[in-house]
Amino acid sequence: MYDRSTQVDRSADSINFGIGQPDFALLPHALMSEVAAERFAEGDTELLNYGFPQGDGRFRWALADFLGRGYGAAVQPQQLMITAGASQALNLICTLLTRPGDTVFVEEPSYFLALRILQEDHRLNAVPIPTDEYGLVPPAVEEALTRHRPVFLYTISTYQNPTGRTLSENRRQQLLALAEAHEFLIVADEVYHLLDFGTPPPDPFAAYADSGKVLSLGSFSKILAPGLRLGWVQTSAQRAGLFAASGLVDSGGGLNQFTSNLVRVALEGGGQKAYLDSLRRAYGQRVQAMDAALHRHIGDRATWTVPAGGFFFWLTCSDHFLAAASSLPAGSAPGRFDTTDLLDAAAGAKVGFLPGRRCSSVGGLGHCLRLCFAHYGIPEIEEGIRRLGQVFDSFH
């Protein structure tokens, strides 16, 4: 009778590691129910009213305090422009700072839906920059700068989507220097930054918000609940004020007044911090379980590094697997094997993943695939990777 309610269908017997979303079972139902009741009991009408365009004042103070502790670097409420999620923040930045045909730099690989926002929604010229295990390669940025004048560079700098890798501290400094020298902005999608599993990452780009070169995107989607559609841009106070003065933001009276009023209670009362810590523990166990299962069932047919945080493993098929797979009839033309070709066999085995090509702005990375370890519990992770191993078996 109804259309679907949620973004993904999770059929009972399939384990789809292509779903890059939090585990439904871990969603903070009790916490959000409590803070909603508490916020309504406060009795004022601010939560239902048009909000202050840059974002509710008390909420921004609570968020700045929370982020300052999490980042280990002070955050000013005036640097925060509250948005309806990180995707909307990226959309707002594109609307206000770019025109169709403008150039932006993106990581190769990158978040596949961010690429759609940039390339399709805003018709920007996305120039891919190579990455390695320490993230974006600065000499490659320099080389690209000899040919292009980007408005901004879009980086998912910590626990990247899809690779799970983190840009090194040294490279962050190099990129900041390049942004200064070549007058481009760094749009750092830092939505996974607080999801470390024990070892803190380098300082976020958010710590350089006052440079005027940085727009750091954050979101409650990965640390609380995606349905809330609540995020922020941290940038210079001046630029945050400019965003707030846009017609869209002013007309709506802020981009998510009601929800930010509820989440403010979770920030002030400590519920957000406790919930985030529980997620870090849960995901930290899952990453170990997936790594062990990968060793057991995939072995040397692919390589990967164990992510120190975030949501994703990134597998690169090994040369000998590619050579063997390409020579089989089930694969495509020899030497042109693509993990997309594994999807049918995977569906048959009731397991899923995201093919690497979906994460490329230029149709590359066919020899890679992304696995999300956040969406399923450990038994499903172990069973799902066992099934993935069978899919690899059928090509080898």
Residues 27-46 that bind its own copies (CB under 8 A): 27-29, 32-33, 36-37, 40, 43, 45-46
HEC assignment per residue over 324-375: HHHCCCCCCCCCCCCHHHHHHHHHHCCEECEEHHHHCCCCCCCCEEEEECCC
Is 377 among the residues that bind its own copies (CB under 8 A)?
Answer: no
- The whole-angstrom separation of Cα 298 and Cα 303 is 9
- The reply to whether 84 sits near its own copies by the rule CB under 8 A is yes
49 belongs to the binding site for its own copies (CB under 8 A): yes
Instruction: Report if residue 57 touches its own copies, rule: CB under 8 A.
Output: yes
Binding-residue pattern over the window 237 to 266 for its own copies, x denoting contact by CB under 8 A:
---------xxx-xxxxxxxxxx-x-----
Count Cβ atoms within 10 A of the Cβ of residue 188 and give its class: 0-12 exposed, 13-18 middle, 19 or more buried.
buried
Residue 260 and residue 268: Cα distance in Å, rounded? 12
Q: Smallest distance, Å, CB 222 to its own copies?
A: 11
Choice from 17, 18, 53, 367 touching its own copies (CB under 8 A):
53
DSSP state of 190: -
11 binds its own copies (CB under 8 A): no
Residue 295 interacts with its own copies (CB under 8 A): yes or no: no
**Euclidean distance between CA atoms 270 and 276, whole angstroms:** 10
Q: Are 368 and 314 in contact (CB under 8 A)?
A: yes
User: Any contact of residue 115 with its own copies (CB under 8 A)?
Assistant: yes
Q: How many other β-carbons are positioned within 10 Å of the β-carbon of residue 145?
A: 18
Is 95 a binding residue for its own copies by CB under 8 A? The answer is: yes
- Cβ at position 231, least distance to its own copies in Å: 9
Name the one range near its own copies by CB under 8 A: 84-92, 130-138, 150-158, 203-211: 84-92
Q: What angle do CA 210, 211, 214 make, to 5 degrees?
A: 90
Q: Position 218: which residue type?
A: G
Does 272 participate in binding its own copies (rule CB under 8 A)? no
Interacting stretch for its own copies, rule CB under 8 A, among 126-134, 196-204, 221-229, 355-363? Answer: 221-229
Question: Considering the rule CB under 8 A, would residue 148 count as an interface residue with its own copies?
Answer: no
Report the residue number, 234 or 259, with the smaller CB distance to its own copies: 259
Nearer to its own copies, 80 or 175 (CB): 80
What residue ranges in 144-294 does DSSP mark as E strands? 152-155, 185-189, 214-219, 231-234
Rule CB under 8 A: is residue 211 a binding residue for its own copies?
A: no
Q: Count interface residues toward its own copies (CB under 8 A).
A: 79
Question: According to CB under 8 A, which one of 15, 16, 17, 54 is a site residue for its own copies?
Answer: 54
- By beta-carbon proximity to its own copies, the closer residue of 49 and 326 is 49
CA 79 to CA 239: how far, in whole Å? 8
Query: Distance from first CA to last CA of the chain, Å, rounded?
Result: 44
- To its own copies, the closest distance from the beta carbon of 39 in angstroms equals 9
Q: How many CB atoms lie within 10 A of CB 205?
A: 29
